[in-house]
Amino acid sequence: MDKNKGQLDFDFSADSLLEFPVNKQEKGWFDFESEQQAAIRMLEERFSISLNRRVRLRLHGWPEEFEGKLMLEDLLHPTGREKSVRLRLGRLTFDNTDIEMCQTLD
């Protein structure tokens, strides 16, 4: 056995670990994507926000407006009892209750 071959040959670089092949025709992927879209729609309606879209917003107590893609801060969706949801716009994180004005740009 070549002592230079084996388990240490696995490429652990960050780029290779992020590139998982996805077959979007598979039922499991389709179900996952459908559930995610339904959860996003529910959160948008419940909290009156536009997720995963470019927005311009102003936060209470901040004089400037911010632009960017409005995202959930956490990967886990709220369970249904929360009164607010944590959001992210670039590096800025805040609760939906902090939003004074939000305008969808796309």
Q: Strand locations in the chain, DSSP E?
A: 53-59, 65-72, 86-89, 92-95, 99-104
Each residue of 40-97: pLDDT tens digit?
A: 888 888 888 999 999 999 999 999 999 999 999 886 666 667 788 899 999 999 999 9
CA dist list (Å): 80 to 8, 17, 85, 103:
45, 33, 10, 25
Top-level class of domain 22-104: mainly beta
Residue 26 has pLDDT above 80, yes or no: no
The pTM assigned to this predicted structure is 0.65
